[in-house]
Chains A and B, each alone.
Chain A
Amino acid sequence: GAVVSQHPSWVICKSGTSVKIECRSLDFQATTMFWYRQFPKQSLMLMATSNEGSKATYEQGVEKDKFLINHASLTLSTLTVTSAHPEDSSFYICSASSLLWTGGNQPQHFGDGTRLSIL
């Protein structure tokens, strides 16, 4: 259980293009979804936290107008990188958890990530 699907797994596009990444929870209702960015040989850096039906909470230094996050349903969150530039090239990973889970602390479950390459 607790499967998270992320799509696409790899996207290459020209500078100035906007790119949408989808994150879906396949077998549970994700009340909270997280978006991370990982640079080579570095840790996962949290970009934003989104609760279903609410505006995302962005971490310091993350441009909310650049990285648009929508979490309109309990099974889908999207990250749109607007007017992407080469410096936006990175590995983006989503994770999901649910406040509906019982039994105390629960781990986040991750998608497989999206490798974004901007030419």
Chain B
Amino acid sequence: DQQVKQNSPSLSVQEGRISILNCDYTNSMFDYFLWYKKYPAEGPTFLISISSIKDKNEDGRFTVFLNKSAKHLSLHIVPSQPGDSAVYFCAASANTGNQFYFGTGTSLTVIP
């Protein structure tokens, strides 16, 4: 059973515009969420995280929003750059042993 879902397998955005990647989860015990970026044949790289006590966390061009009632989080990238083209995974943890559950990923393509 997939506890973390990314329903859009791919997304294309024009350079300079905003990229919005979405993630839904089912386990109400999740209280820590992360986004990872992954290039082909490489391991995921940590991008940004958010704790359930917040609804927004910003780091440069990257902002993560958390809507606990909807069990939904999103990653906003603005402005999008060609180097942002990668697969983005969201992950969630219930902080009961630091096991993370990953979504299936969204492949972002930023068109120059």
Q: Pick from B43, B45, B51: contact of A105, CB below 8 A.
A: B51
Measured in the bound complex, the distance between the Cα atoms of B46 and A91 in whole Å is 18
Whether A110 lies near B36 (C-beta < 8 A) is yes
Contact A43 B95 (CB under 8 A): no
How close is A111's CB to chain B, nearest CB, in angstroms? 5
Contact flag A104-B41 (CB < 8 Å), given A32-B98, A43-B102, A43-B104: no
B66: interface (CB < 8 Å): no
Chain A residue numbers with a CB within 8 Å of B102 are: 43-44
Q: Give the bracket for the number of chain B residues in contact with chain A.
A: 20 to 34
Write out the residue numbers on chain A whose beta carbons fall within 8 Å of the beta carbon of B93. Answer: 105
Known interface pairs A42-B104, A97-B98; A110-B45 also in contact (CB < 8 Å): yes
Nearest chain B CB to A100 CB, angstrom units: 12
CB distance from B47 to the nearest CB of A (A): 9
- Evaluate contact between B51 and A104: CB separation under 8 angstroms: yes
Q: Cβ of A19 < 8 Å from any Cβ of B?
A: no
Contact A105 B44 (CB under 8 A): no
B25 interfacial contact with A, CB 8 Å: no
**Option from A41, A93, A104 in Cβ contact (under 8 Å) with B43:** A93
Q: Is the CB of A81 closer than 8 A to any CB of chain B?
A: no
Question: Distance in Å from the Cβ of A105 to the closest Cβ of chain B?
Answer: 4
9 intermolecular pairs with C-beta atoms under 8 Å apart = A34-B99, A43-B105, A44-B44, A44-B89, A46-B101, A49-B99, A105-B31, A110-B36, A110-B43
Which residue numbers of B lie inside 8 Å of A, CB to CB? Answer: 2, 9, 31-32, 34, 36, 41-46, 49, 51, 89, 93, 95, 97-105
- A6-B43, A95-B43, A112-B42 are known; give 12 further A-B pairs, CB within 8 A: A34-B100, A41-B104, A41-B105, A91-B41, A97-B98, A99-B98, A105-B49, A105-B95, A106-B98, A107-B46, A110-B45, A113-B42
